[in-house]
Amino acid sequence: MTHYYSTFASHALALSLSFVITPAQSHDSAVHCEAVTSSVTDAGFNDVVKVECASGNALIQSNTYPDHTMMTGIVGTNEQVPLPAAQYVSPIPLEPVVGTQPQTRDAALAVAVNGVPIYDYTGGGEMSIEDLAHHQTKHDTILTQQLDICGGHAGRGDDYHYHTKPTCMIEQMPNAGPDAIIGWAFDGFPIYGDHNPDGSIIEAGALDVCNGQTDEEFGYRYHTSKGSPYIIQCLMGDAPNMRDLPRVAPLKPADGSRPPNAGRPPKGGVEDLVFTQNASGVRSMTYRYQNKGYYIKYSPSSTENCYHFETRTITNNGELYEQELCR
């Protein structure tokens, strides 16, 4: 990825050259299990998100599909749409330990308390350690207007996820405030909002290259921030094998034929993108580009985890496309 400097670059660069951090004492597993479970319950999502502690992890199970506005407001659309990802399980280590070097991933780094995955702020592939020290402006999903009004969008797996502060989710939380945990990183550490848990302002330079800092209770914690990198952009803890962490696979044609072309943001962006859905599961994403209307409409088919799609997209030159696609 190309390197671009921002206001946080000089501080982040210094950190990227010296990642050695004194490992924090492991948090008691039973206490950590309760913290993860309580964070979901206190946020009001325990009816759609299940937490089970086993084999050294708090397993957060969800379908990654939030009950708030999605997709509406996107300009740089990739023409992907959100679908539930049944049985998505996020493993959160119960005895997290701060590592000595950050880890990056071209997929989710964390999960929000409503069960929606959290990515770093970029949309251009996995960042290298060197990339972490520079603002990737050409890949910034906020600057390129790829995110909806809630801070998320659908990716290549037609899975909804966040790339920045999940504002709509936080608005739903009865415990919203600086001390509320809004998510958990896959290395076991919590994610908070723009302020310290006690409500105090985070001093300039206090957050490291992963957008985290030490924490008295958990040993370490991440934050969201108004400026880039906006949210967790790497894992500072000793995470498990990155290949074993969850990811959502793209949809596949039910008949085994070739899948449709992967969407790509059209030059200059689209207008009036709106996503709607009804109680029966019929979903539609409509938008305009160069005075022409396009759409992606889909609804559940008779086969479990499959959907009938009807589309006219920019990527496919406005040609009508109909097919059954499945998880």
Report domain extents, the chain. 9-244, 252-326
**CA 201, CA 84: separation in Å to the nearest integer?**
37
pLDDT digits (tens, 9 = 90+) for 31-84: 999 999 999 999 999 999 999 999 999 999 999 999 999 999 999 999 999 999
Amino acid at 219: G
- The token duo for 9 is 């670059």
Beta-bridge partners for 221:
213
| Better-predicted residue by pLDDT, 222 or 19 | 222
| pLDDT tens digits, one per residue of 121-169 | 999 889 999 999 999 999 999 999 999 999 999 998 899 999 999 999 9
Buried b / exposed e across 269-295, counting CB within 10 Å, b at 16+? bbeebebeeeeeeebbbbbebeeeebe
Give the DSSP letter string of 288-303.
Answer: EETTEEEEEEEEE-SS
Q: Which two tokens mark 172?
A: 């739903």
Distances (CA, A) of 28 to 31, 32, 66, 238, 304: 5, 6, 31, 16, 40
At 96 the pLDDT is 96
**60, 115 in Cβ contact below 8 A?**
yes
Query: What pTM was estimated for this model as a whole?
Result: 0.90
113/22: higher pLDDT: 113
The band of 258, judged by pLDDT with boundaries at 50, 70 and 90, is confident
Task: Give the percent of the chain with pLDDT over 70.
Answer: 92
pLDDT band at 177 (very low <50, low <70, confident <90, very high): very high
Spatial neighbors of 194 by CB under 8 A, at least 6 apart, are: 165, 202, 223, 224, 225, 226
> Taking a C-beta distance cutoff of 8 angstroms, is the pair 234, 102 a contact?
yes
Residues in the chain: 327
pLDDT over 90 percentage in the chain: 81
DSSP SS3 for 322: strand
For residues 196-200, average pLDDT: 98
pLDDT per residue as tens digits for the range 85-118 = 988 999 999 999 999 899 999 999 999 999 999 9
**What integer pLDDT is reported at residue 243 of this predicted model?**
82
Which tokens is 271 given? Answer: 């207008």
By the 8 A CB rule, do 275 and 71 touch?
yes
